[in-house]
Amino acid sequence: MKASTQRRQFLKVGSAALAMIPVVAFTNHAFAATNAAMRTALKYQPKPLAEKNCGNCLQFVPGASAKVPGGCKIMPGDTEISATGYCTAWAKKA
């Protein structure tokens, strides 16, 4: 492929991506994401371990409501953390 053809293709894809930003931003739809590498490293599971659960962990960031998954300060970009989940980074909230 010639450099000019590659550049044209890059500009087309880049323009389309830029055009989608306002559409995504104003639809009020959040796209769920998981941080699989961190989940594996921290042995995350969607069920609690005795009294230890994400809902009473210092690192847990609650979702918009009780039924919406939250996040974790230790797992950046992960928006699918269950309040009833557990991982080895669990630390009791004060």
CA–CA separation, 50 and 60 (whole Å):
17
- So what's the pLDDT on residue 57? 97
Name the more confident of 7 and 20: 7
| CATH at 89 | 4.10.490.10
Structure token pair of residue 46: 């969607």
Identify whether residues 10 and 40 lie together within a single domain.
Answer: no
| Predicted local distance difference test score (pLDDT) of residue 94 | 86
Instruction: Provide the strand spans (E) within 3-73.
Output: 60-61, 71-72
Whether residue 56 contacts residue 68, with contact meaning beta carbons closer than 8 Å, is answered with: no
**Mean per-residue pLDDT for 7-31?**
60
Contact 66, 83 (CB under 8 A): yes
Q: Round to whole Å and give the CA distance between 10 and 6.
A: 6
pLDDT score of 22: 60
Domain encompassing residue 11: 1-30
- Same domain flag for 66 and 49: yes
Q: Each residue of 23-71: pLDDT tens digit?
A: 555 544 455 688 899 999 999 999 999 999 999 999 999 999 988 999 9
Which pLDDT score is estimated for 8? 78
For residue 13, what pLDDT is reported? 64
pLDDT value at residue 60: 97
Count how many domains the chain has: 2
44 shares a domain with 90:
yes
**Same domain for 77 and 38?**
yes
- CA–CA separation, 86 and 83 (whole Å): 8
Q: Is the pLDDT of residue 11 over 80?
A: no
